[in-house]
Structure 1
Amino acid sequence: MKRVVVICRNEDAPNITSLLRKETHLTTEYPTLTHYSILVKDDELEDLIARLHQAIEFMDKSTVVEVYSPDFVISPGLKETLNSERKGHRSPVEKLIESAENTADITTNMIAMAAIASVVALIGLFLNNVGIVIGAMLLSPLLGPIDSFAISAATGNFRLVRTCLKTIVILLAGIVLIAFVASYLLSFAMDLPITAEILSRTVASPVYVIMAILLGFAVMIALSTGISEGVAGVAVAAALLPPAVVTGIALAVYPQGAFGAAILTLENVAGLMAGCMIGGIALQVGPRSYREKVTAKTLAVRIGWVLVILIIMLLFLSVLPI
């Protein structure tokens, strides 16, 4: 349950009152200002904030909207609502945007986790051990910039979109480079086996694009409904980490498989981005004001076309005989 406080000029009060006919609220009038105190369920907060934002967009700049989380609420009429609100809880757009801003830019910790994950995955692939590969997926930090990209595109934040793309490129390039260097050096000390786990990731297929799109869509649903980020992160890492590591391995010791592994990695990247964007659109993740919505729509359409063209090119390359 949330408590929303709105303070506006008396002459603007009718616009707010008309929005609150079905809401539990208290109105207090002062000589020049009107104070509204509104109780709203968590899963209805986003809709209320959107309506309030549209109503106050052209009001006086002194209008204020504040959101609080009460320690407790005693109300017979709201008791059943409080007991059932967690079942369909959906994170407000503001939380998703804040999450995107926190995970878009690359950090030292992110690089360290990606490096460790790539080495662990490398060991698992050479040992043909699925359990070790899954363990590497749990360490991978690839979820953050992928979902941040989709949220930034949906909200029209071009600066953050560029930051996310830079982070994704650096992380994937770093994973491939670490796998290449490690495999190249190890090849002088021992015979490195090309295991079934490695071979299975050197063949690209259109099916993987569909899988990646579905995974991306599922990730956005998971993040917007409060499902553990770790669960969604494993899904993303499963699609990106092993193929990227195999690309590095193949470049060092199995050149004939490098092209297929690289195409598979790019297919999964493009598919995940597309799926996350579709999920963001389906969940109506976007800015509040009309001007920002126009900007966001333009950016999303352009990125969407780029992804469509990229996916078509990758699908064509994946069916080429090598």
Structure 2
Amino acid sequence: MKKIIVTTKREEAPNILQVLGKVFFYQEDLENLTRFTIIVPDNELDGIISNLQQSLKFMDKKTLVEVYSPDFVIYPVEDEKKNHDTGEKKKSERSPIEKLLESAGTYEQLDLNLLILAAIAAIVALIGLFLNNIGIIIGSMLLSPLLGPIYAFALNTAVGRGRVVLLSFRTLLVLVGGIIVFSLVATWILSLFIPLPLTPEILSRMVSNPIYVVMAVILGFATIVALSQGIPEGIAGVAVAAALLPPAVVTGIAPVIYSQGTLGALILTLQNVFGLMAGSVAGVIALQIGPRSYGEKRNARTIIIRIAWLLAVMVLLLFFLSLLPTSL
């Protein structure tokens, strides 16, 4: 359940009443203001907020709308309604778009903390790959910050924020590129002092295959669905890191110890990058995540179409590149 508090001038109260319809609310008259407290199920929040936003365009700009999540609500009317509608298909409850955008906001800009976290994840993965230790490789995935920029990219595409989409994409490319460069430098330094083995874990990530593109698209789609349902980012992020982090590290390792595998590792990395992006955008479209006003929806539709075409071209290009033989 969600609690919405609307505070407006007293003369604007009739406009709010028209929006509320049959939802449960109570009205409180203050000195020169009227306050509405509204209780709605989570799956009706978007509809109420959308109607309020449409009304606010023609009302006083000082009207305040607040949304809260109560710890618990005892509301017998809603319980009776649920029992009455047990034969109907229940709608899955999703977080409102504002909450999703807020959670992705930290990944729109590149900062030093993200770079440090990516470097630490890369060095842990590097050790695991050279030791052929899958446990250490999985541990590195828990540290990887690669999910955030993909999540921000998809959500901002859905709401039509073109500039932020580019910023999220830049953050992702810098993080992946930084992991590759860091792994290259670390491998070169290590090679000066100790012989570095070409382990099965490294070799397995020097071979690209069309199936990896399909897997990345499905994984990107599933990740967006999971995050929209409130599954913690740390859990969903492991799946993304599993697809992106080891191939990116191997792309840095290959030029130093086995240059013939560099192209295959790079293609595999790019397959996962663009496949995850394509799947995540497909996810927000399928879940109908987007802005509420008509103007914003029209702008978002234009951005989504352009991004979808670009991603489709890249995914198809990488799909056919993976069919070409690479030397091992």
| TM-score after normalising by structure 2 | 0.89
Q: Could you tell me whether the CA contact under 8 Å between 2:27 and 2:37 is conserved in 1? A: yes
CA distance in 1, matches of 2:74, 2:136: 51
Partner letter of residue 61 of structure 1? Answer: K
Equivalent residues in 2 for 1:261-280 (5 A)? 261-280=265-284
CA distance in 2, matches of 1:112, 1:80: 52
Of residues 123, 127, 145 in structure 1, which corresponds to 2:131? 127
Equivalent residues in 2 for 1:1-322 (5 A)? 1-8=1-8, 13=13, 15-27=15-27, 35-70=35-70, 73-78=73-78, 88-322=92-326
Q: What is the CA distance between 1:108 and its match in structure 2?
A: 1.6
Three-state SS of the structure 1 residue aligned to 2:192 is helix
CA distance in 1, matches of 2:133, 2:299: 47
CA distance in 1, matches of 2:183, 2:63: 56
Q: What is the CA distance between 1:70 and its match in structure 2?
A: 4.2
Q: What is the CA distance between 1:106 and its match in structure 2?
A: 1.7
**Structure 1 residues 257-300: Cα deviation after superposition (integer angstroms, max 9, x where no partner):** 10011011001000111111111112222122221111111111
Three-state SS of the structure 1 residue aligned to 2:288 is coil
2:86 alignment partner in structure 1: none
CA distance in 2, matches of 1:247, 1:71: 48
**Structure 1 residues 131-162: Cα deviation after superposition (integer angstroms, max 9, x where no partner):** 11000101111111110111111111122112
Q: Could you tell me whether the CA contact under 8 Å between 1:178 and 1:248 is conserved in 2? A: yes
CA distance in 1, matches of 2:109, 2:6: 34
Partner letter of residue 41 of structure 1? Answer: P
Q: Could you tell me whether the CA contact under 8 Å between 1:7 and 1:33 is conserved in 2? A: yes
Q: Summarize the Cα distance change of 1:81–1:129 in structure 2 as closer, same or farther, 3 Å threshold.
A: farther
Greater mean deviation of Cα atoms: 129-138 or 290-299:
290-299
Partner letter of residue 136 of structure 1? Answer: S
Three-state SS of the structure 1 residue aligned to 2:3 is strand
Three-state SS of the structure 1 residue aligned to 2:198 is coil
RMSD over aligned Cα, in angstroms? 2.5
Q: What is the CA distance between 1:38 and its match in structure 2?
A: 0.9
**Structure 1 residues 48-82: Cα deviation after superposition (integer angstroms, max 9, x where no partner):** 21232233333343433222344654443346789
Partner letter of residue 127 of structure 1? Answer: L
Three-state SS of the structure 2 residue aligned to 1:189 is coil
Partner letter of residue 171 of structure 1? Answer: L
Q: Could you tell me whether the CA contact under 8 Å between 1:2 and 1:70 is conserved in 2? A: yes
Structure 2 unaligned segments of length 5 or more: list them.
83-90
Q: Could you tell me whether the CA contact under 8 Å between 2:107 and 2:171 is conserved in 1? A: no
Q: Could you tell me whether the CA contact under 8 Å between 1:6 and 1:66 is conserved in 2? A: yes
CA distance in 1, matches of 2:137, 2:30: 64
CA distance in 1, matches of 2:122, 2:317: 27
CA distance in 2, matches of 1:38, 1:79: 17
CA distance in 1, matches of 2:152, 2:282: 14
| TM-score after normalising by structure 1 | 0.91
Q: What is the CA distance between 1:20 and its match in structure 2?
A: 2.4
Q: Could you tell me whether the CA contact under 8 Å between 1:101 and 1:160 is conserved in 2? A: no
Q: What is the CA distance between 1:47 and its match in structure 2?
A: 2.7
CA distance in 2, matches of 1:27, 1:164: 43
Q: What is the CA distance between 1:32 and its match in structure 2?
A: 7.7
Q: Could you tell me whether the CA contact under 8 Å between 2:94 and 2:230 is conserved in 1? A: yes
Aligned residues: 320
